[in-house]
Structure 1
Amino acid sequence: MFRFRLALVIAVSFGFVLLLGGIMYWGADQVARHFQRSQTAFEAFDHYENLSQEAYRYFKQQMDRLITSGTKAETDLETSKQRLLEAMQALREQAVKDPLLIEDKQQRNPDKATELERVANLTAFLDASEYRFNEVERLREQGKRNEALQALSKFSDEEIDFKFQPLIDAAIHAERDKAAHAKQELENLVAQSRWVTISAAFIAAIFSLTAGIFLLGRVKKPIEALMQGTNEIASGNLNYRIILDSRDEFAYLASHFNKMAIELGVQQEKLRQGREELENRVAERTYELQQLNQALKRMDAERCEFLADISHELRTPITVIRGEAEVTLRGHQRDPEEYRDTLHRILDLSMQLGKYVNDLLFLARSETANLQFEWDELDLTELIGSSMEDFKVMAEESAICLSYSAPEQPIWLFGDKQRLRQVLFILGDNACRYSKPGGEIIINTWLDDTHVYVSLTDKGIGIPSQDLERIFERNFRSENARRLHDDGSGLGLPLAKSILKAHGGQISVDSSVNAGTTFTIKLPLISTGEDKDSL
């Protein structure tokens, strides 16, 4: 329905456009015709003016020649005659091809006949004038000069003034009237076209305004309803429905819009349910991933700690082995027993290095970074004694004096011999590194009923009091230790504490800056009468 109304308005508007175009085309064509008429009249007027000038020039030159009989006058006369003939020929052609006389034959035949008759009269007069001039010339050649002059005077007074001049004046006056008439018709046509155009444009404007107001009234309410519906849907109100009481295209569009809102509501509900289900699954998987991530972080942290500890501990046995070999090679004459003792110590240190390497292999093959222990009964006195030989090698490099006092009887413990040797190496290496050249390291061992105590005292740089509680933290090093040696890792003492804790022991420290440090190890003894196999 609405499409039909819109098509009707467009068709009528197009008809008005065609009408205006036709009127403007007709007006332009009429203006062109009247302008051509006016232009033709002015051209004819110019031809008559030119003919009049050339004719009088020719007549004057003829008279001067007949009166004076000059050779130069005869030459000019031929030129003037030729120009007169050309002007007459141009006027004749203008009269024959005059479009004003051709386009409207019924109305213009009298004018055409008059025009042609006027041209014919002028042509006949010019021919007659040529005959008269020849006759005067003949009288002058016969010696009848007075008769020739009288004939020439009579021709000028009677023929030129009373015949030729009225013909030219009548022709010029007729062309002036014709041009004025064409101009007046042109002005009337322009005025008529203007009023016709204004009237048609006014009617078209009234129709367009009326049709626009009518169509606007028909589409305003449906468009507002559709816009309201789109705003409600866009804001999330999928329950909104567009209600139109018409049966046109807008009602069809509104019904489909309502169906779309219903479908959107159904799809939105499905999406909400799917999103809730997906969120629950994501939450479950996220929790599982967080648990796995935390486990991986713990494993990675333990792995890194273990690798750092092993890397730190590999340094001390290698240093001692190198020192033992260098001391043995520097000696001159030694008995085989001394070489045997040195080799035994190098063997023990190599076994300890092998244990570290096994720890690394175990770490590579498993997903844990925990240290592995080999528990067995061991004699602490014998362990400290063998370690003292290694300490001497490290102490000699820094010219440090080493002293040791311990009970002569065995001190039995239950633990890992290589791990406890590792603890002693950590403490001994720190004492040698942070003691001043020419200093002293003192190692003491004593017992009580249930525990054995081992202290290691140096006269080194000491530890600031504010750092005593932090030296067993991983990667921590006091400021004065970093200034003296910047290659430490801060892993030795935390590792030693972990090993002693696994043995049920403890480690404590007492230190003063620039006065020295004392580390004390406490380990449980095997109880008297206890069944060793059960341990």
Structure 2
Amino acid sequence: MFISFGFVLSLGVALYLGADEMALHFQHSQTAYETFDDYEQLSQEAYRHFKQRMDRLITANPNSETGVESSKQRLQAAIQALRETAVKEPVIGGETWVDKPAELERVAHLTAFLEASEYRFEEVERLRLQGKLANAVQALTKFTEEEIDGKFQPLIDAAIDAEREKAKQAKRELESLVRQSRLTAILASVTAALFSLMSGILLMRRFHRPIQALMKGTDEIASGNLEYRIKLDTRDEFAYLASHFNQMAQELEVQQNKLRESRSVLEQRVAERTLELNLLNEELKRMDKARREFLADISHELRTPITVIRGEAEVTLRGEDRHTEEYKDALQRIVELAMQLGKYVNDLLFLARAETAHLQFEWGKVDLTELVGNAVEDFQVMAEERSLSVAFSGPECPVWVRGDKQRLRQVLFILGENACRYSNPGGHISVALWVQGKEASFSLTDQGIGIPSGDLERIFERHFRSDNAQSSRDEGSGLGLPMAKSITKAHGGRVAVESRENSGSTFTVTLPLLPST
């Protein structure tokens, strides 16, 4: 009995010491995972702080100062937690379980880097405030690539790998103790089979299931299955270890989910910034297109009045012994054309500023007989350069319409200039004015190249020119006829065209008459 008692007592003491040592090694494992968690927390808070600082530098939003200070406080708290964990490393047999100086040195390197990063961010902030945005962006990019990616990330990775290695070491030592405990239990069972076979069996049942559960839990978590939980319904040390093991796995899972969420938010913001850049690029393209169209409008609308002014002046200067009235008439036409030219310039500037195709009109009572007659005189100046003849037929009495005199003159100039440009040398241009019912019409008929039948419906489209027009004349932007149609439509009228290729064209403008009083 004494031998049995002594054996059982010795066995109990051995088992107690083994369990105590196992609990201690499990605490080492727990400490390793806590330190691992602290490094993960530090990494997360550091990148969150870096992101807050970068957002403030990029957006220059003063309201982001609160977020920066908040992230900085959390980062300092994470560093303090890591420093405290490194200081309180447990000891085994009077010796530290890990190389504490190396651990403290690692923490010191991380702390020094984070403190230095604050000075770098402040330097970038000073560059931005000084208006050196390009230098600020360059410094920020260099700091991100060389310091954060090149130094900080390797430090964090090395620290996490070290803590993972400590966890594996704790696992190996724990497994070794489990094997020793199993061997002790087997030997004790064989030795005490004569005295307490049943006690040995119960003891094995008590230890086997919790240890297996702990080993399986350790394997699952080590393999990355953080959703696994150890299920023990006992109230002993193993249940305590299982509870802490489950708590540790839950915290690691939470941190991992937070990292995924942060990555998702970052990717979303990058996508938003990319979309903003694409929209800005499209806006720049649109503005460039508007600028080119504006220059085309200028070249088209200013060419005809300038040509007529030059021709009028040249014809007047070539004549000899002219009467004063003839000079006055020529100068009057030049003045009117100059006013027309100024009107065009104002319109084009208005179109450029407003980015719209709507023109401004000065409405009044206009005599088409006088307007068309004066325009025919201007056509004759342009026609002389191409040896063309111009004839006008119309009523001698006034034909009154409501409209803008300068705009209607612009329509006549567009049609007359096209007739002169696309007529063959020696040809004839007929201009007619007539009244029918409540409408007045004027037409211009040339003997030029004509318009292909397939292009008649498109000649009033902006920038469209038929193939024969392009081969006949290089100049021209396809803006005149669309503008003439817009002006006529604004007067409540319409423009019609009849044409045969190589035979000539007839453009007819119809306007409503003023009601008779």
Report TM bin, short chain: 0.5 to 0.7
2:413 maps to a residue whose letter is: F
Within-5 A mapping of 1:415-494: 415-494=403-482
Whole-angstrom distance in 2 between the partners of 1:455 and 1:363: 29
TM-score (norm: length of structure 1): 0.51
**Aligned equivalent of 1:166:** none
| 1:523 counterpart SS class | strand
1:214 to 162, 169, 179: 179
**Aligned equivalent of 2:251:** 259
Gaps of 5+ in 2: 1-20, 27-91, 93-174, 183-207
- Contact in 1 for aligned 2:422/2:448 (Cα 8 Å): yes
Whole-angstrom distance in 1 between the partners of 2:467 and 2:353: 38
1:204-226 per-position Cα deviation (integer Å, ceiling 9, x unaligned): xxxxxx96992799987545434
Change (3 A) 1:517 1:254: same
- Contact in 2 for aligned 1:306/1:371 (Cα 8 Å): no
Cα distance, 1:308 vs. partner?
A: 3.7
1:225 to 217, 220, 231: 217
**Aligned equivalent of 2:86:** none
- Contact in 2 for aligned 1:242/1:255 (Cα 8 Å): no
- Residue 380 (str. 1) matches residue 368 (str. 2): yes
**Aligned equivalent of 2:76:** none
- Contact in 1 for aligned 2:231/2:242 (Cα 8 Å): no
Cα distance, 1:361 vs. partner?
A: 4.1
**Aligned equivalent of 1:345:** 333
**Aligned equivalent of 2:390:** 402
**Aligned equivalent of 1:309:** 297
What is the RMSD computed on CA atoms of the aligned residues?
4.2
Change (3 A) 1:233 1:449: farther
Whole-angstrom distance in 1 between the partners of 2:349 and 2:505: 36
Within-5 A mapping of 1:181-196: none
Whole-angstrom distance in 2 between the partners of 1:271 and 1:527: 75
**Aligned equivalent of 1:519:** 507
Cα distance, 1:311 vs. partner?
A: 3.5
Cα distance, 1:270 vs. partner?
A: 9.1
Change (3 A) 1:521 1:369: closer
- Contact in 1 for aligned 2:294/2:352 (Cα 8 Å): no
Cα distance, 1:370 vs. partner?
A: 2.1
Whole-angstrom distance in 2 between the partners of 1:452 and 1:418: 18
Change (3 A) 1:213 1:227: closer
| 1:347 counterpart SS class | helix
1:232-279 per-position Cα deviation (integer Å, ceiling 9, x unaligned): 867xx6xx64446736877644421123435667x599989x97xx99
- Contact in 2 for aligned 1:378/1:414 (Cα 8 Å): yes
**Aligned equivalent of 1:319:** 307
Whole-angstrom distance in 2 between the partners of 1:220 and 1:448: 109
- Contact in 1 for aligned 2:435/2:441 (Cα 8 Å): yes
- Contact in 2 for aligned 1:414/1:526 (Cα 8 Å): yes
Cα distance, 1:2 vs. partner?
A: 3.6
**Aligned equivalent of 2:84:** none
How many aligned positions are there?
313
2:382 maps to a residue whose letter is: M
| 1:409 counterpart SS class | coil
- Residue 370 (str. 1) matches residue 358 (str. 2): yes
Whole-angstrom distance in 1 between the partners of 2:407 and 2:380: 20
1:347-375 per-position Cα deviation (integer Å, ceiling 9, x unaligned): 11000011112223434665655211110
Change (3 A) 1:223 1:216: farther
1:358 to 341, 346, 351: 346
Whole-angstrom distance in 2 between the partners of 1:297 and 1:306: 14
2:328 maps to a residue whose letter is: R
- Contact in 2 for aligned 1:299/1:369 (Cα 8 Å): no
1:378-408 per-position Cα deviation (integer Å, ceiling 9, x unaligned): 1011001111111001000000111110100
1:434 maps to a residue whose letter is: Y
Within-5 A mapping of 1:275-290: none
Gaps of 5+ in 1: 12-209, 530-535
**Aligned equivalent of 1:80:** none
Whole-angstrom distance in 2 between the partners of 1:216 and 1:373: 104
2:179 maps to a residue whose letter is: F
Change (3 A) 1:363 1:4: closer
1:474-510 per-position Cα deviation (integer Å, ceiling 9, x unaligned): 0100001000112210010000000000000000111
Whole-angstrom distance in 2 between the partners of 1:214 and 1:518: 109
**Aligned equivalent of 1:508:** 496
1:141-185 per-position Cα deviation (integer Å, ceiling 9, x unaligned): xxxxxxxxxxxxxxxxxxxxxxxxxxxxxxxxxxxxxxxxxxxxx
2:343 maps to a residue whose letter is: K
- Contact in 1 for aligned 2:496/2:508 (Cα 8 Å): yes
- Residue 328 (str. 1) matches residue 316 (str. 2): yes
Cα distance, 1:334 vs. partner?
A: 1.3
**Aligned equivalent of 2:483:** 495
Whole-angstrom distance in 2 between the partners of 1:341 and 1:424: 20
Change (3 A) 1:449 1:358: same
Whole-angstrom distance in 1 between the partners of 2:361 and 2:425: 36
| 1:414 counterpart SS class | strand
Whole-angstrom distance in 2 between the partners of 1:449 and 1:295: 50
Whole-angstrom distance in 2 between the partners of 1:435 and 1:471: 17
| 2:506 counterpart SS class | strand
- Contact in 1 for aligned 2:499/2:506 (Cα 8 Å): yes
1:267-297 per-position Cα deviation (integer Å, ceiling 9, x unaligned): 599989x97xx99xx8xxx99x99x999999
| 1:402 counterpart SS class | strand
Within-5 A mapping of 1:57-76: none
Whole-angstrom distance in 1 between the partners of 2:287 and 2:25: 81
1:441 maps to a residue whose letter is: I
- Contact in 2 for aligned 1:457/1:518 (Cα 8 Å): yes
| 2:433 counterpart SS class | strand
Whole-angstrom distance in 2 between the partners of 1:345 and 1:339: 10
1:456 maps to a residue whose letter is: L
Name the % identity.
53
Mean Cα displacement is larger for which, 343-352 or 333-342?
Answer: 333-342
| 2:451 counterpart SS class | coil
* Rg (Cα) greater in structure: 1
| 1:443 counterpart SS class | strand
Change (3 A) 1:213 1:406: same
Whole-angstrom distance in 2 between the partners of 1:233 and 1:340: 101
